[in-house]
Chains A and B, each alone.
Chain A
Amino acid sequence: MSVIAFAKNWNGKFKNSTFELVSYTKALANQLNTNMVVLSIGEVAEEELKLLGNYGADKVLTVSDPQLNTLTSRAYADIVAKAADSVGAEVIVLSDNNSGKAIAPRVSVKLKAGLVAAVQELPVSLEPFVVKKRVFSGKAFGHVQIKSDKKILTIAKNCFGLVKNPCDITIEEFAVDIDTNLFKVKIVEEEEQKDKVILSDADVVVSAGRGMRSPENWAPVEELAEVLGAATACSRPVSDEGWRGHEEHVGQTGKVIAPNLYIAAGISGAIQHVAGISRSKCIVAINTDPEAPIFSVADYGIVGDVMDVLPRLTEAFRNSKS
């Protein structure tokens, strides 16, 4: 028996969420009194793989075929399932991100292994195996029992944190036949903004709503984000109106994020908006209306006009840095 974590890389690099995944899986292995194996797919330099050892990984399997440098969910799922079988894994753990959402369900079908997505913490009990997850878009938590022998979890971002646990690491190539039939979707073009902070990874997010009144008024939002090294986000009507791109929309029907700090400027705090931000560690609200529902979910609030408060807040952050 063992547990296996799939450590996704982005252009050969891991993210903090990968290290959180390894930290979580190590703790789970300890809870189950077993060992952990980490699987990496695609080309990743040895130096980068060694970083996994800082969070408790002592054994890494890697499939470093360059064909696998971009995610092909079918081929990845095939490899994850084979690796899990080869190490006799009872539990397979992935991150709850785009790739985890694409791969985990396929592995579940392949191995007939019960899957619970976006788990919040270590299992509540091992016999029976029960995990806790967010349900009803954050309005409640559900305790879900996995009945199958093999189990798959995807873990929600920022649910566990990073746990340093330096280990001597061995890196092994995992030999597997790659079925080229599984590459039927072809990526013909790829665009990536390299200079922007990515919303789903950001520790700090500055978000703005209809209270900004017009798309021309976004400069104070962007300036504050810049000073904080934050990503920018928005409410749904703002992206529906085309004031900002869809990729910035947070909430029930947009992105669900869990930054350390979420600053909501001119956002009323409708229940569907809150569904996407309620896992933030700290929420700051700026709104002219003292009765706005956002204040009932915020930790700190300022009643005031965004056009007036945002520049002042930017200034205060700037001063505190120098």
Chain B
Amino acid sequence: MNAPAPAALNDLLQGDTAGRDGFARLRVDEPTWTRLAMGCAAGLHDLGAIWHDAGDVSMLLLDPRAGHRAIVSLATVAGAYPAVSRHHLPASRLERTLRDLGAGRPVGMPDPRNWIDHGVWPNAAPGQTNPRPDKSYEFLPIEGEGWHQIPVGPVHAGIIEPGHFRFTANGELVVRLEERLGYVHKGIEALAAGADIDKVARIAARISGDATVAYSFAFALAVEAALGWTPPPRATLLRGVMAELERLSHHINDVGFICNDASVVALQARCAILREDILQVAARCFGHRLMMDRIVPGGVAADLPADGAAAIETCLKRCETDFAAVMRVYDNSPSLLDRTVTTGVVRPELAARFAAGGHVGRASGRAFDARRNFPYAPYGEVDFAVATRRAGDVDARVWVRVDEVHSSIAIIRDLLARLTPGPITTPRPVAQGPAVGAAMVESFRGDVFIHVRLDADGKVARLHARDPSCFQWPLLEAAIEGNIVADFPLCNKSFNCSYSGHDL
């Protein structure tokens, strides 16, 4: 028998049309599943997510060049299916998660260690049928002389989320970082199962609180696609304004923190003031500093007050001048650049293989931005350039963020100029039986993916959320290799991966 050959999504999709949500849905047999998995490894298309639902395993595949995205499903045999990670390693943690949390059983995983299940839950996760791990966890072995290990976390020194990092170093030089995550696993997908849409909207807004607008946006789009629900034009524009304000606040803040990690505290203070300015404007315009629960299925929950646009414009002007001043200092401080240039390099091939989104991917040449590649309202009518760099170091990630600060400011102005009075929600249509919907939204850290299946009464039967960090965390391990321990905070902050969004 010949070895199976990789298959490209593009060839398989001939004639298949995408659903209302822009995703084509394909049902395949085991050999085709495996060939598509090999296609991911061969670079024919990108892997976007893997999840298990009611006896089926599904993967999200993307071909941004051809503009295709598809959800490919395979019926499992009592949960068992051929592991994607056997052919394509970026699937590894996704499949370990899937196995730990439910009834799916990937067969042939190269790394079968537990991931989210640390062996301390009093009961199995709802629907979990696979054998439970014990508490012990084997980190990758180290052989040779002169190495020492530095275990860090889960409780870190700063005010950040919990996770465990195990560095192997020789003196200052790091040769390996191994992450262990899952500490903030709250059982979000299980909580959503069977709950009504309003409750799940509130849960979705808290998958990763820093990207609350993006998650609410994605959840709303997925539900709207499933129900054939169209939000009013004013709501669509306001969604864009909120999403860009969120992006702006984080990019400015993170650049400040990177400077802080290189001990240039004055710049961080400036950035923190700007961030505070943005949050205060958000509170004034939308009634919540982080704009939590402000995007809801069917529209938005808060309308911009009459003086809102002017308040936002004042804030944008301040961001423009002050952030430009910060970046002038950054660009003219050899002591800062010494810490960021050539530090924490992610090679373009690796970013492409992991289909890393956000500034992590774009700083390593992967020109993917969900707003541009798979535009959703209001971005279909918004003109902006996707900023990319190729150096892949901390400095490149800083500059991608700087470019995005500028484009976000321009987008907000454009959207505000197009606002006309009108309603901000539309009533929910009656559910016409079970339905599915998916959405991809560009958060400040990259593409957030949400898939929902609604039951006949319009309740959420299954929610799957995939944070952009899932494909960025592994690259952080690669980025720190060969760097010094002291540069880890800079690398980490330049990525700013989510723990909560990853752990779910």
B is a partner of A? no
Q: Which residue numbers of A lie inside 8 Å of B, CB to CB?
A: none
